[in-house]
Amino acid sequence: MYQIDLKNPCTVYFMGIGGISMSGFAKLLHANGFTVKGSDSQESKITRQLASLGINIIYGQTAQNITDDIDLVVYTAAIHPDNPEFMAAQEKGIPMMERAVMVGQVMKNYKNAIGISGTHGKTTTTSMLSHIFLTAEKDPTISVGGILDAIQGNIRIGHSENFITEACEYTNSFLKFFPTAEIILNIDADHLDFFKDIDDIRHSFKEYTKLLPEDGVLVINADIPNYQEIISGLSCKVITFGLESDAEYTATNISFDEKGDGVFELVHNGKNTGEMIHLNVIGKHNIANALSAIALSSYYDIPMEQIKKGLAAFAGTERRFELKGSFNGVTVVDDYAHHPTEIKATLQAAQKYPHKHLWCVFQPHTYSRTRALLKEFAEALSHAENIILADIYAAREADPGDISSRTLQDEIKKLGKDAYYFSDFEDIKKFLLKNCIDGDLLITMGAGNVVNIGEDLVK
């Protein structure tokens, strides 16, 4: 296995360099003195930014791009073995590694390598923890799966022994990591196009915990059903947090301010600490996320005053209950929620946000997820007063012909709730312009391009 050593730069070629994660690590290696170049199918804001740093970007992927001076090729899961660059690198015998392996290799260069995992909340919690470490002047290197204003992007290159990254379970990517500290936020049934069932997912998270060294630390949500099974046999330190169960870090006197932002008193080892934590993000789910960040920050001896300042400074990331503006007095918010647990948490949080009527435009993400969790989607969406469904966003899948947004509409109606379905975004916009009134709250929701609806209305 090729080992990336930040103290010994070499020449690295990124296939698919314009991706959000790939571009971040291209910047990281470039900043550490590596010669970085790469290819992508088309020019974008990201590739233009990389080029402005002096990184050589090639558009289109041909065998000629793979030159003899390249020491390592990094590729994404979207690159197939019949790709001409992939085949050329193999023929030349150049070491190759998939993106997740590269992230793991980079983690090996840091004493404190923190991997934040869970079916939901990874980006938010990574951002919360990043804010705390920045406030405490820990100078962390950060890789986050969204755009974080505090670091003006998705990557921050620090000069300390602290590395903070999201750790995604899809395709078992996080099993290629080398963490010394982990957070497990939750474990739900998702990505069922890859995992067989919830037991298969739990098994992967269990394997993830086994990556921790004896002197490492695991922060885990005690509200996860039978979480003890996940931590059994571990020799590292385990710290628990939660809202419903007995845990080392929990919350009491929970309230929400006029914007729906969470306020709570921290409880540690069963004792009220008297520390009131004020968040700048909405919802009970974000109180749980904050507890995990508090637990890990406390483990690293960050003073509570700096933890509180860091959490208060975090006002959310792109596409996580992101305020987009308004039209005709209607407030427009966009949210990335695409799993029933996330949808329910966001809609329940939205109830605390000032509004007359709550509208949710939902775009299901992938056929397999919609089919597997159909009843759960219907129940979660029923927490909105008015539900509008767009067509399923296929993402990586082909239409199987046996599941559609109309199927979900029928399931919602079985719960005694009305739902509207439109196959065209323009029809959705016309319907909203006609029916939303001054003081309403509109949430566009999903991991696809549904965000365009709200943005167009605001324009």
Q: Is the pLDDT of residue 238 over 70?
A: yes
Q: What percent of the chain has pLDDT over 70?
A: 100
Question: 363 is written with which tokens?
Answer: 């775009």
Average pLDDT over residues 113-131: 94
Give the tokens for residue 277. Answer: 């934590």
| Catalytic site residue from 119, 123, 317, 346 | 123
Question: Considering 27, 37, 47, 122, which one is annotated as catalytic?
Answer: 122
**Mean confidence (pLDDT) of the chain:** 93
Is residue 122 part of the annotated active site? The answer reads yes
Report d(CA 201, CA 199) in Å as an integer: 5
Residue, of 355 and 410, whose pLDDT is higher: 410
Task: Tell me the pLDDT tens digit for each residue of 435-449.
Answer: 999 999 999 999 889
* Max intra-chain CA distance, the chain: 65
DSSP classification of residue 170 = G
pLDDT computed for residue 323 by the predictor: 87
DSSP-derived 3-state class of residue 232: coil
- The order of strands in the sheet holding 386-389 is 322-327, 330-335, 441-445, 358-362, 386-389, 419-421
Residue 414 appears among annotated catalytic residues: no
Question: What pLDDT, in 10s, does the model give residues 169-190?
Answer: 878 899 999 999 999 999 987 7
The model's confidence at residue 349, banded by pLDDT at 50, 70 and 90, is: confident
pLDDT at 148 (0 to 100): 83
* 182 CB-near residues (< 8 Å, 6+ apart): 114, 115, 116, 117, 167, 208, 209, 211, 212, 216, 217, 218, 219
What pLDDT is attached to residue 192?
Answer: 65
Annotated active-site residue 229? The verdict is no
Given this model, what pLDDT does residue 248 score? Answer: 98
What's the pTM? Answer: 0.82
- Burial status of residue 229 (CB atoms within 10 A of its CB: 0-12, 13-18, 19 or more): exposed
User: Is residue 83's pLDDT more than 70?
Assistant: yes
The residue annotated as part of the active site, out of 47, 85, 165, 166, is 166
Q: What is the mean pLDDT of residues 91-120?
A: 95
